[in-house]
Structure 1
Amino acid sequence: MGSTAQVDATDVSRVLRNTYLLLSITLIFSAITAGAAMAVNLSYGAGLIMTLVAMGLIWFVLPRTANSSAGIGVVFAFTGLIGAGLGPIINHYLASANGASIVLQALGGTAFTFLGLSAYALVTRKDFSFMHGFIAMGMMVMIGCMLLLVGASMFGYPMPVLSLAFSAGIVLLMSAVILFQTSAIIHGGERNYLMATTSLYLAIINIFTSLLHLLGAADD
């Protein structure tokens, strides 16, 4: 029994170490690809295509390669494309009067949220598996809201209040994902560091873009 517990503890430590190491590297890689996209003034259309391709990689390719070395390449391709897709969005905010301040505040807020929630989960070692239902329901609600916003915008009826509520909801939902995913690693529910990395990475990126939207609206 003691031997099994020791193996489990070692496995959890390995997954945690590999997850945070890969997460750090992929965030740096994303920053590089975002910078490159900003430098060449990548269009919104090209950025959207890259983002869609990236999502396709984690939906259809990563689940099949998550237990092999090929999965690492998929994770880097995914995060690189997401970073490039962020380039046009960041350029849009930087073009505004207080753009640099907005981007820096969003970065700081994202870092504070992620580090604070991760530290809380790691230090308290609380089991946040009960959030699974909330996260699943939240995802469905957010997808519904997104489709509604896109449809309304296409027909010339923007809904700015709902758009802001959507961004605030994303921040709350992704915060729950960080707690849930970190807890899953700690308690042995997540043994694949590639899947854990992509989950935390998506939470960070969504918090960042949502804070950009909220801060940009507040500035306007």
Structure 2
Amino acid sequence: MQNVTAGNSAIAHAEQVSKVLRNTYALLAMTLLFSAVTAGISMAVGVGRGLGMIMSLAALGLIWFVLPRTANSSAGIGVVFAFTGLLGAALGPMLNAYLQLSNGGSLIMQALGGTALVFFSLSAYVLTTRKDFSFMGGFLMVGLLVVILGSLGAFVASLFGVNVSMFSLAISAAVVFLMSGFILFDTSRIVNGGETNYIMATVSLYLNIYNLFTSLLHLLGALSDD
């Protein structure tokens, strides 16, 4: 009887994990597409950097204050689309700036391709091996805190005319490694039952992809001497 109960429990767990994975990747695909649309609109209307910053802050406000209260309801899906739409639109000014470069379009496509390659490769590895990467959580959070503090420090230094270009590149490189680690960590949590809310899982993976793309684009732009 205990073996039968354990077997039924294992089957139920596997079905739950599979459901969360399906819902997460379906919602992730739709939000990425929606972000691409809002980014295109932002580029077409010529949204400025100031408005882009405001939209980024508004998006962060949604996931900090609104999403935690709606993540277990259908309203959470609307919040996720609002969040990803704002971040997509906030990319418009940066993408327009890169398109002004002689090889700007190529750089953007390379960053998109690199982001897709990293995400699909790491996700496939976790989905195939089912390896638990929860041990990386502490290291990743400390790394993220260091990057945030470093970015704030670089911003303040730039206000005083200090050249922080090399330091900024180092931060972008660190973000690429951190987001790669977070992709392993977040996918592992879904696969191993640590994350059962597909809305929260979608937001985590979306942020990993978003930050990975922007950091890769920054690095590629610097390496191309533009």
TM range, smaller chain? over 0.9
Find the aligned partners of 1:139 and 1:59 in 2 and give their Cα distance.
17
Measure how far apart 1:137 and its partner are.
0.5
| Matched pairs, number | 220
Is the radius of gyration larger for structure 1 or structure 2?
2
Unpaired runs of 5+ residues, structure 1, are: none
Q: Secondary structure at the match of 2:91?
A: helix
Q: Taking structure 2 as the reference length, what is the TM-score of the superposition?
A: 0.96
2:3 corresponding residue in structure 1: none
Measured against aligned partners, the alpha-carbon deviations of 1:143-199 in whole angstroms (never above 9, x if no partner) come to: 111111110111111211110000000000000110000000000000000000000
Partner in structure 1 of residue 220 of structure 2: 215
**Matching residue within 140, 144, 155 for 1:139:** 144
Q: Residue 63 in 1 paired to residue 76 in 2?
A: no
CA distance in 1: counterparts of 2:137 and 2:220, whole angstroms: 29
Shift of 1:16: 0.2
3-state SS in 2 of match to 1:214: helix
2:211 partner amino acid: N
Tell me the percent identity: 63
Q: Which residue number corresponds to residue 52 of structure 2?
A: 47
CA distance in 2 between partners of 1:60 and 1:112 (Å): 33
Residue 47 of structure 2 aligns to a residue in which SS? Answer: coil
Give the distance between the partners of 1:138 and 1:59, measured in 2 at CA.
20
Which stretches of structure 1, 4 residues or longer, exceed 4 Å deviation after superposition? none
Residue in structure 2 matched with residue 150 of structure 1 by the alignment: 155
Name 1:163's counterpart in structure 2.
Answer: 168
Partner of 2:21: 16
In structure 2, distance between residues paired with 1:99 and 1:186 = 37
1:99 pairs, out of 85, 98, 104, with 104
C-alpha distance in structure 1 between counterparts of 2:98 and 2:121, whole Å: 26
